[in-house]
Amino acid sequence: MMDEAVHCPKRQPTLRLAPMPGNENMFGDIFGGWVMSNVDIAGGIEAMRHARGRVATVAVNSFQFHQPISSGDVVSFYTEVVHMGRTSITVQVQVFAERRPQKPIVVKVTEAILTYVALDKEGQKRTLPPAIWPELNDADAPPEP
């Protein structure tokens, strides 16, 4: 499949990583489990900020791999809350790879939607706190003084 060049969202990624050869599968691509693990971490960071505390992944609602990732790619995970329930937060994670530093191209490699549940100290679900900021993403933050 041809790489379709795209632009990353105009905000900071929640996570940016450079996979190593040790993250490859036996065919030389980056192992899907590495991507899934980091998607869950990135989504969990977003959910934890909004829950202002401990969360657990309750569901992976959808997960799509569009393009393979290779060693040498710089991989960025962008997160966005798509739903806040009573105890749960649903997060979309979009993953982009920057390839070929000598002639850079950005491609969307993965997108997923996961649901997290806010937990108390005992690991029981808890009601989400009221939102303090509509979003914590830089694009929505108030301008620097």
**DSSP conformational letter for 123:** S
Instruction: Using CB under 6 A, pick the residue from 9, 53, 54, 57 that binds ligand COA.
Output: 57
Give the separation between CA 50 and CA 32, rounded to whole angstroms. 27
Nearest CA to 81 out of 106, 108, 107, 118 is that of 118
Say whether residue 131 binds ligand COA (CB under 6 A).
Answer: no
Nearest CA to 127 out of 98, 84, 96 is that of 84
Say whether residue 126 binds ligand COA (CB under 6 A).
Answer: no
Number of residues that bind ligand COA (CB under 6 A): 12
Residues between 58 and 97 with contacts to ligand COA, criterion CB under 6 A: 58-59, 61, 85-88
The residue whose Cβ lies closest to ligand COA is 85
CA angle 107, 111, 115 (to 5 degrees): 155
Say whether residue 54 binds ligand COA (CB under 6 A).
Answer: no
Binding residues for ligand COA (CB under 6 A): 56-59, 61, 85-88, 115, 117, 125
